[in-house]
Homo-oligomer: A and B are copies of this chain.
Amino acid sequence: YLYIRVMVNVPKSYLILFSTGAYTASQGINCIREDVASYIERRDGGVPADPDNIYLTTGASDGISSILKILVSGGGKSRTGVMIPIPQYPLYSALISELDAIQVNYYLDEENCWSLNVNELRRSLNEAKAYCNPKVLCIINPGNPTGQVQSRKCIEDVIHFAWEEKLFLLADEVYQDNVYSEGCQFHSFKKILYEMGPEYSNNVELASFHSTSKGYMGECGYRGGYMEVLNLHPDIKGQLVKLLSVRLCPPVSGQAAMDIVVNPPVPGEESYSQFIKEKESVLNNLAKKAKLAEDMFNKVPGVHCNPLQGALYAFPRIFMPSKAIEEAKAHKMAPDMFYCMKLLEETGICVVPGSGFGQREGTYHFRMTILPQIDKLKILLEKMKDFHIKFLEKYA
């Protein structure tokens, strides 16, 4: 699909500007970085974006990995602390461990729709200062696995906190096009940073990430992505470019795919109406499925599911009977892992236990995507409900 779009839609001049067969500049192809900057300006209502601050990456994973590599340093008590949400997307814990940095957990507030509370950030930071040097604050918005969309007020609070504490903000915004709930809206950290005035926009260090893998296109196989990096010290920027150039460049097809994502058909273009139809159909379907999953899970006794405001996942909490917890322990398994294995064995449905993402001690969850077609998703949810009721009976 994307190949065809590349060939049908892209201005002819591109065929001259780059070849898919050659290495490109390590930071990415110039004209694509310009398109990304224009996209960001449109998205953020005119806040300026500089192509020089844009880096094309091999998926968002690669960008996040590169930035963390640049920021992590020191040994002993001066080891770099990296604050991450719990529950988190496990790329973060893995990279922190690869880099021998210190993982500093802050907990999302499940009682308040997985929102991010600055008091909790402060608690977490202050405790961490005793044993490491916390320098980086990671936010995933919309959230994976938790599916929340942070409010404008919350993002302002986080930016103020980062400014106060001189933390480098890492905003994982790969689900920026996946927002479903009424009254929810995606606010980019970049935009709010600028709206808070020059004291913030000239000082707070921010890297934000996007990807071809999510949104309404969901082209994961291309491994396209970009990051926009603000207020990076010129010396550090030099280091970053050096680091990237060692690995030569991101795959050209991924760069081209990123270009397609930020440069969709516009009114007047031949494929515009087809594009809008497909886009709306994908997003409307996801919104329906988000609501469906939330409603179904909340009808099941012993399950609670926050609204799926964005991203592609449900992350319901399951209240496990103590007999089930005991049996899990007898099998040397985390209770939610035990639950997910039973579900798999009995229904063939595979979901990921909450312990893979982190969760408050004594709470249990699992993550499920809402990607299956709506009819299949209904059947799936029915089966999970039946399984859960039987599970409760068995371990009552």
Instruction: Identify which of B3, B223, B251 contacts A3 (C-beta below 8 A).
Output: B3
Q: How many residues of A contact B (CB 8 A)?
A: 38
Closest to A243 in B: B98
Q: Is the CB of B58 within 8 A of A222?
A: no
> Could you tell me if B221 and A24 are in contact, using CB atoms closer than 8 angstroms?
yes
Q: Shortest Cβ distance from A296 into chain B, in angstroms?
A: 26
Verify A248–B61 contact, CB threshold 8 A.
yes
What 1/0 flags go to A47-74 for Cβ under 8 Å of B? 0000000000011011001000100000
A223 contacts B58, C-beta separation under 8 Å:
yes
User: Which B residues are CB-close (under 8 A) to A247?
Assistant: 59, 61-62, 65, 91
Residue A302 lies at the interface, judged by CB distance under 8 Å to chain B: no
**How would residues 13 to 32 of chain A score, 1 for a CB under 8 Å from any chain B CB and 0 otherwise?**
00000011111100000000
Chain B residue nearest to A93 (CB atoms) is B246
Is A87 close to B, CB under 8 A? Answer: no
Question: What's the Cα separation between A12 and B263 when bound, in Å?
Answer: 32
CB distance from A249 to the nearest CB of B (A): 8
Closest B residue by C-beta to A218: B21
A254 at the interface (CB under 8 A from B): yes
Q: Is the CB of A90 closer than 8 A to any CB of chain B?
A: yes
**A21, B246: Cβ atoms under 8 Å?**
no
Q: Is A283 located at the chain interface by the 8 A CB criterion?
A: no
Is A266 among interface residues, defined by CB-CB distance under 8 A? no
A94: CB under 8 A from chain B? yes
Minimal beta-carbon separation of A117 from chain B (angstroms): 28
A232 smallest CB distance to B (angstroms): 18
Question: A44 — which chain B residues lie within 8 A by C-beta?
Answer: none
Which residues of the partner chain B approach A222 to less than 8 Å between Cβ atoms?
A: 20-21, 251-253
Residues of B within 8 A of A240 (CB): none
CA distance A250 to B223 in the complex (A): 7
Q: Does A35 have its Cβ within 8 Å of any Cβ on chain B?
A: no
**Given known A-B contacts A58-B251, A247-B65, A221 and B98 have beta carbons under 8 A apart:** no
A220 in complex: contacting residue of B23, B90, B221, CB < 8 Å: B23
Interface residues in chain A, defined as those with a beta carbon under 8 Å from any beta carbon in chain B:
1-3, 19-24, 58-59, 61-62, 65, 69, 90-91, 94-95, 98, 213, 218-223, 242-243, 246-254
A61-B247, A91-B247 given; 19 more Cβ-contact pairs under 8 Å? A1-B21, A2-B20, A3-B3, A3-B20, A20-B222, A21-B218, A21-B219, A21-B220, A21-B222, A23-B221, A24-B221, A94-B242, A95-B246, A98-B243, A222-B253, A223-B248, A251-B251, A251-B254, A253-B253
